[in-house]
Amino acid sequence: MMFWYDHNVSGWGWFAMSASMILFWALIITAAVLLFRALNRPHEHTHAPAVPTPEQILGDRFARGEIDEEEYRRRLDALHTGPPRP
């Protein structure tokens, strides 16, 4: 029976044990939340961004007013038919 009443833990000892238990569970919960977020994040591609297609470049030039509709259609047809044949 002596063990239950005399284990030499003062008030500061109880405080240190309580604080360390709270810190322990806070670290476990934080690690679990960070792991959950990391696993559910959409994967980001690390390669270079996609190069725009010639049709997109041509459409951008038409949208900015650098070329008129006639030139846009002529160049778009040239893109789709391929290079001129000799």
pLDDT in tens, 17-47: 889 999 999 999 999 999 999 888 877 666 6
Q: pTM of the full predicted structure?
A: 0.41
Please check whether residue 55 is in contact with residue 79, taking contact to mean a CB–CB distance below 8 angstroms: yes
Q: What is the pLDDT of residue 1?
A: 46
Q: What is the pLDDT of residue 5?
A: 57
User: At residue 49, does pLDDT exceed 80?
Assistant: no
Per-residue CA distances from 28 to 2, 8, 24, 32, 34 (Å): 35, 29, 6, 6, 10
